[in-house]
Amino acid sequence: MNIYQINDIAELIRGNSYVGRGIVIGKTADGKKACSAYFIMGRSNNSRNRVFCERNDVLYTEPFDASMVEDPSLIIYAALRKFENKLIVTNGDQTDTVYEGLKKGISFREALNARAFEPDAPNLTPRISGMITFGNGDFTYEMSILKSADAEGSACNRYTFDYAALPGLGHFIHTYVCDGNPIPTFQGEPERVAIPDDIDAFTDALWNALDADNKISLYVRYTDLTSGKEENRLINKNK
């Protein structure tokens, strides 16, 4: 077993009907750009009734058809936003928890100590989060998962991972292992994945690998480490 193997993200996903929501953060192979990506999937009509929308440099999940919304509490939120030299991306309203924490001077990890997994028994979906910190022409990044300690949801286990940015390497964390009832939650460390230089190649590979029935939306951002220029790609299954 090669613990330093770098995987093709499409190969990790392809054929898996439900990996849930996923975050990818890493550095392009040429070492010039930071990559951040977030996707959502859904099985219920309520979950599938969503699109990504970018306003004022914040990425939101929004209803595709407002008349069909059953419960907005866990499906409508700011998924990606910036604070000073930091870029936050999460699978829920803990984006705002981290943002408000940073404004108060507390860390990514400390801010997330106030949160737990989602209250959606029996699945008890993990909250996954990531944050890039830019500086001196480079960046570091952190990833977090908040998981139930048992099937009853009696306690929350919190895991935080800190990474140096290495060319061509990214880390991928997602809410579920695969489909099921209840759905098995993500296990272990974020997976090591390759980050190509071409944003379109990465976007296409990731989107095409996600299950056709259950995928909903994908957002990818590449940030140039010298100029700060951003390239964004947004795909919504609901047009």
Q: What is the pLDDT of residue 210?
A: 98
**How many angstroms separate the CA atoms of 139 and 181, rounded?**
39
Q: What is the pLDDT of residue 45?
A: 85
Tokens of 198: 């071409």
Give the three-state DSSP class for 61.
strand
> pLDDT band at residue 24, thresholds of 50, 70 and 90?
very high
Tokens of 45: 């009509």
Give the neighbor-by-neighbor strand order of the sheet with 138-148. 50-55, 58-63, 78-83, 86-90, 127-135, 138-148, 156-164
Exposed, middle or buried, 228 (CB in 10 Å: 0-12/13-18/19+)? exposed
Q: Which fold has domain 18-236?
A: Glutamine Phosphoribosylpyrophosphate, subunit 1, domain 1 (3.60.20)
Q: For the chain, give every domain's residue range.
A: 18-236
Location of structure tokens 């951003």: 230
Asked whether residue 73 carries a pLDDT value surpassing 80, the answer given is no
Q: Would the pTM count as exceeding 0.85?
A: yes
> pLDDT band at residue 106, thresholds of 50, 70 and 90?
very high
**How many angstroms separate the CA atoms of 27 and 33, rounded?**
6
Concatenated DSSP letters of 84-116 = TTEEEEESSTHHHHHHHHHHTT--HHHHHTT--
Tokens of 50: 């969503």
Q: Which residue from 69, 89, 38, 30 is spatially nearest to 207, judged by alpha carbons?
A: 38
Continuous H helices in the chain? 9-13, 45-48, 94-103, 108-112, 199-209
Judge contact between 75 and 68, C-beta under 8 A: no
Tokens of 200: 């379109």
Location of structure tokens 């392809």: 14
Q: Which residue from 50, 3, 12, 2 is spatially nearest to 194, judged by alpha carbons?
A: 12
**How many angstroms separate the CA atoms of 124 and 117, rounded?**
6
Q: What is the pLDDT of residue 13?
A: 97
> pLDDT band at residue 235, thresholds of 50, 70 and 90?
very high
Tokens of 51: 């699109």
φ, ψ for residue 207 (rounded to 5)?
-65, -45
For residue range 117-153, what is the model confidence (pLDDT) as tens digits? 999 999 999 999 999 999 999 999 999 999 999 999 9
